[in-house]
Amino acid sequence: MSRFNKLFHQLKTQNQGAFVPFVTLCDPNLERSFEIICTLVENGADALELGLPFSDPLLDGPVIQAANNRALTAGYSTEASFQLLAQIRSKYPEIPMSLLLCANLVYAQTIDGFYQRCANVGIDAVLIADLPLLACEEFMPFAKKHGIQQVFICPPNADQETIQRVAQSSQGYTYLVSRAGITSAENQQASTNLTHLVTSLKSHNAPPILQGFGIAQPQQIKEALAMGVDGAISGSAIVKIIEQYLDDPTTCLIALAKFVKIMKKATAL
């Protein structure tokens, strides 16, 4: 059983949803990034979604764009990120970890080489933000070869055909986007069609559903779980804390610990 499958099974028996934080690797540098990720895990994160620094990120709003720029400006990119991933896996052998990235970073390693590296450092799942379902056949055989679960996004405007294909193709979990647009903790405009999407995804036996985009408050997690999703992903709200305390690492970790504890508490069903 994969780490993600094991996690969702365990949370179900405990009547809990999953809280999954997102951060960009090596932001603001490798050493502090490791401390930040350790703080997230030790204060209640059920799994990790991690981004590779990239100069042209898709879907990401200004907060996460800035995180990418900080990591790249400090001289960190894919190589350092894989070193950091290995370090995280060594300390936390059981926590599920997924990568969120753009296809160009996969091609840069060769598709086979990328998934091999993911397997080598203990990555469980990969979500390629700009990989449409119509093009997934180029990647899926290599993900399967190296035991990596390929995750797909269900957009808020998905039609029935798209919902079915996402449900049948996604592995590990299904990423349900809350609304159209880019990531942002400030944009709280929610889609009115999410209940329909959740119901439809489940009718097609989709993997557990994690809702992302704009998740910044405990109440949003409660509402998402009440709608039937299995957990929530929060990125911009966390990265904003990192940005706020760039010059005060100690206070940054304290603030992150408090935020994660509050958000995880909201996952009780």
Residue-wise pLDDT for 184-232, tens only, equals 444 444 444 699 999 999 999 999 999 999 899 999 999 999 999 999 9
Residue-wise pLDDT for 4-42, tens only, equals 999 999 999 999 999 999 999 999 999 999 999 999 999
Element (H, E) at 73: helix 62-73
Q: Residue 186 catalytic?
A: no
* pTM of the entire predicted model: 0.94
Q: Residue 49 catalytic?
A: yes
Strands (E), the chain: 18-24, 48-51, 97-101, 125-128, 149-151, 153-154, 174-177, 209-212, 231-234
pLDDT tops 80 at residue 183? no
Q: Which of 49, 124, 230, 243 is catalytic?
A: 49
Torsion sign over Cα 133, 185, 255, 247: positive
Q: Residue 75 carries which side chain, given as an amino acid letter?
A: G
CA distance 34 to 25: 8
Name 104's Cβ contacts closer than 8 Å, sequence gap at least 6: 54, 56
CA distance 252 to 242: 6
Q: Which of 31, 35, 46, 60 is catalytic?
A: 60
